[in-house]
Structure 1
Amino acid sequence: MSLRSLQALCLTSFFIADVRDGLGPFLGIFLTQHHWQPDDIGLLMTVGGIAGLLTTLPAGVITDKSSRKRLLLALLCLVITTATLLLWFTHGNAMVALLLIISGISASFVGPLMTGITLGLTGQHGFNAQVGKNEAFNHAGNFLTALIAGGLAWFWGVGGIFILMACTTLLTLLALMAIRSGDIDNNAARGLESPTQQHVPDFSVLFKNSALLVTGLTLLLFHLANAALLPMLSMRIASTPGSINPGLYAAATIIISQVVMIPVAVQISGQIEKYGYWRLIMLALLIMPVRAALAATTGDPIMMIPVQILDGLAAGILGVAVPSFIVSLLRGSGHVNAGQSVVMLMQGAGASMSPALTGMIAGRYSFSVAFGVLSIIAMAALLIWWRYTPVLSALNKVE
């Protein structure tokens, strides 16, 4: 494997962190400042999430078959950024919905493409270590851009975030160009055992894999509980008169979690062989109910510190353990990225419904009630993972 290409891949992971999510938690603040209500914001965020959800599986299939993954990823980054920048100029329901749909569809390709490029560069045996580095750089990128975004929000308001995203998109494209296309083995990138492997199992092999489906269902519930928690924390501050600067608050929530995720991502890649996938994912699932319950107890801005520390722990573990587990699970199938997309489809279903559900509960009752419901949903994810221990325990150790 080429050291230059792997270094460029790490830089791509660093800069793409700010591109893929668009405005991220700043979207809720931006729309709130333009007099949108929480339930309307949640609904439109759900529309964008559903659009991405519908293209998640095709994104994995296309990634498996594509031999031009770098070019495809570069084009999609440009589309996401353009759609996000256009939000500055229009606030009408239909146009905002259309732009969020475009961003959601484009963002659905980023995960499979990054996984495919990584696997194509490292092969099966080097994947776990490299995906840990990718995640660490990705979180470091989120940390730095959140730090800059907080400063921009403090001095110029949320509008400065749009400029920041344009800059990180340019840097992402430069990093992608530094990855040598010839270093990417397209057979390895889809999970084939060797360059000479001729037989590729039928696509239906994915839906016959019970461990893959249990993983997807568990993460569906996890993200139903998790996806709206951070935006709703920021919206609770934005809707409270005389509270702290909401843009600065949103940046702080991101910074805290990213600082935790960076060392966790690095450590987890080295702990998979020792503890196995099942135990590490169980640990992440245990964290989420506690995090949501803490958010429900008080609206004091200081509570975001333990809430986001826990977020960093859970996300740092899952960001490495889940894709590594799926690559190991589907080894030799030729459908690794499609398998990643099956799980992404299911967790995306939970994530896309989360803002609408939480926004509706917060609008009719309170933010505290909404966070309490999220804690209960997270407990359901934990129970499912525990219930299907026999299905997953055989796959706990790395081969």
Structure 2
Amino acid sequence: MAGRSGRGLDWLNFFMSNVQTGFGPFIAVYLTAHAWTELEIGLALSVGAFVTMAMQVPAGAMVDATPNKRFAAALALLAIAASALLLALLPETLPVMISEVLHGVASCILGPSIAAISLALVGRQGLGERLGRNARYAAVGSGVAAGVLGAAGTWLSGASVFWLTAALCIPSLIALAAIRPDDLHPPRPEEREGGALRGLGTLLRSRGVLVFALCCGLFTLSNAAMLPLAGTQVTRHAGDEANLIIAACIIAPQLIMAMIAPGIGRLAQRRGRRLALLIGFAALPARGLLLMLVDNPAWLILVQALDGISAAGLGVLLPLLAADLTRGTNRFNLCLGLFGLAVGIGGTLSTTLAGLAAEWFGPGTAFAMLAGIGLLSVAVVWLAMPETREASG
């Protein structure tokens, strides 16, 4: 029974990543081909990031309060499909902005919904293992989708990326339907107390929550613009092959992430959360500096593989730390929303700042700036992040 639901959750993560892969770097390539400038692309991507930032905390509270997490996830998937169709049909300023808004709202509901489904399926004790499994299936899904979408963008059309993205929502919904409601265990009545926005003040008084929110913001401020910025440079130099190169830049880190994510989860369980965070965060400044130095597509793909280490670290640890920091309450998704807000702030600023830096001072300066911010995030983890792992025994 639970095995069927577990497999449904596996495939939901796989196909959800298929769907989300169509956004981000492929949008940068698509809009560049339609004569959008780096600054215009940065602003468009920032619209979605800003909406995500504004909606994260309310969405977290809503998912905490909603008994039917599967329905919330289904609505989010349908909104993402609509967003992709809008991009495919009308790559003009207003439709693109509307698409980014739709995608931003849907994404900040979908992530917490899947995290909530995972927690309800396995409980807090099994969450670390489950999150590692989620990350592995998501990474494989992103890699497969990147190859398929990159080939479609190269040999069919740029718009085909978004037609396929919308179509991939169908198997996502089928996988979601395979998760049996009877296998999902809601919070105990005592944990429901304080699960709404009134718990926000309590979370904001937690040192661990505040420090990790800062870490998330700095991480995304450094990370979010790296591949889109590299994508615009590749498009100008590689022409029609740009989609394939970007696809390879997505596939490489996903392969790394698929290999190491379960190990990161086990390391966090056995040796503590800070060590796993440091490993993930340390790859970020190294990647930024190397992107500043390389322009050969083959080297670019190798450098981008480092993103798999960072993605595994943050992808597994963010929900795991949210669970650690909300033990005994029903504030898990509210805490996820706070961390998502920090990620949204970082993402909003990252693409715009990097676009401005690239346009005014050149891409090398933009990559150096992003690497410096990544180094600061490592310092915050090292110096200020408390250990949240529950003492064994």
TM-score range, shorter chain: over 0.9
In structure 1, distance between residues paired with 2:365 and 2:299: 16
The answer (yes or no) to whether the contact 1:32–1:235 under 8 Å persists in 2 is yes
AA matched with 2:231: S
Cα-to-partner distance string for 1:357-376 (whole Å, 9 max, x where unaligned)? 11111111211111010011
Pairs within 5 Å for 1:168-183: 168-183=168-183
Q: Aligned residues: percent identity? A: 29
Aligned residue in 2 for 1:357: 353
Question: Against the structure 1 CA distance between its residues 197 and 349, is the aligned structure 2 distance closer, same or farther, given a 3 Å change threshold?
Answer: closer
The answer (yes or no) to whether the contact 2:89–2:159 under 8 Å persists in 1 is no
In structure 2, distance between residues paired with 1:197 and 1:100: 35
Alpha-carbon shift at residue 21 of structure 1 (Å)? 5.0
Which has the higher mean CA deviation after the structures are superposed, 169-178 or 317-326? Answer: 317-326
The answer (yes or no) to whether the contact 1:23–1:161 under 8 Å persists in 2 is no
Q: Determine whether 1:330 maps to 2:364.
A: no
Aligned residue in 2 for 1:371: 367
AA matched with 1:346: A
Alpha-carbon shift at residue 50 of structure 1 (Å)? 0.1
Q: Determine whether 1:150 maps to 2:131.
A: no
The answer (yes or no) to whether the contact 2:261–2:313 under 8 Å persists in 1 is yes
Cα-to-partner distance string for 1:316-375 (whole Å, 9 max, x where unaligned)? 122112211220221112101100111111121101211111111111121111101001
Q: Determine whether 1:223 maps to 2:220.
A: yes
Q: Determine whether 1:41 maps to 2:38.
A: no
In structure 1, distance between residues paired with 2:40 and 2:194: 45
Cα-to-partner distance string for 1:29-60 (whole Å, 9 max, x where unaligned)? 11011110001100111011101110010110
Give the structure-1-normalised TM-score: 0.93
The answer (yes or no) to whether the contact 1:53–1:348 under 8 Å persists in 2 is yes
In structure 2, distance between residues paired with 1:197 and 1:103: 31
Alpha-carbon shift at residue 243 of structure 1 (Å)? 5.2
The answer (yes or no) to whether the contact 2:21–2:146 under 8 Å persists in 1 is no
Please provide the CA RMSD for this pair: 1.7
The answer (yes or no) to whether the contact 2:147–2:244 under 8 Å persists in 1 is no
The answer (yes or no) to whether the contact 1:9–1:118 under 8 Å persists in 2 is yes
Aligned residue in 1 for 2:31: 31
The answer (yes or no) to whether the contact 1:261–1:312 under 8 Å persists in 2 is yes
Q: 5+ residue gaps in structure 2?
A: none
Aligned residue in 1 for 2:233: 236
Q: Determine whether 1:386 maps to 2:375.
A: no
Alpha-carbon shift at residue 273 of structure 1 (Å)? 2.2
Aligned residue in 2 for 1:69: 69
In structure 1, distance between residues paired with 2:191 and 2:333: 17
Partner SS for 1:245: helix
In structure 2, distance between residues paired with 1:197 and 1:50: 31
Which has the higher mean CA deviation after the structures are superposed, 219-228 or 96-105? Answer: 96-105
Q: 5+ residue gaps in structure 1?
A: 188-193
Aligned residue in 1 for 2:10: 10
AA matched with 2:102: I
Partner SS for 1:124: coil
Alpha-carbon shift at residue 377 of structure 1 (Å)? 0.8
The answer (yes or no) to whether the contact 1:132–1:265 under 8 Å persists in 2 is yes
In structure 2, distance between residues paired with 1:397 and 1:200: 22
In structure 1, distance between residues paired with 2:30 and 2:240: 15
Which has the higher mean CA deviation after the structures are superposed, 195-204 or 337-346? Answer: 195-204
Q: Determine whether 1:132 maps to 2:129.
A: no
Question: Against the structure 1 CA distance between its residues 318 and 307, is the aligned structure 2 distance closer, same or farther, given a 3 Å change threshold?
Answer: same
In structure 1, distance between residues paired with 2:20 and 2:157: 21
In structure 2, distance between residues paired with 1:38 and 1:245: 19
AA matched with 1:217: L
Of 253, 256, 260 in structure 1, the residue corresponding to residue 256 of structure 2 is 260
In structure 2, distance between residues paired with 1:387 and 1:354: 24
Give the structure-2-normalised TM-score: 0.95
In structure 2, distance between residues paired with 1:111 and 1:384: 25
Aligned residue in 2 for 1:283: 279
Partner SS for 2:90: coil
AA matched with 2:156: W
AA matched with 1:122: V
Partner SS for 1:158: coil
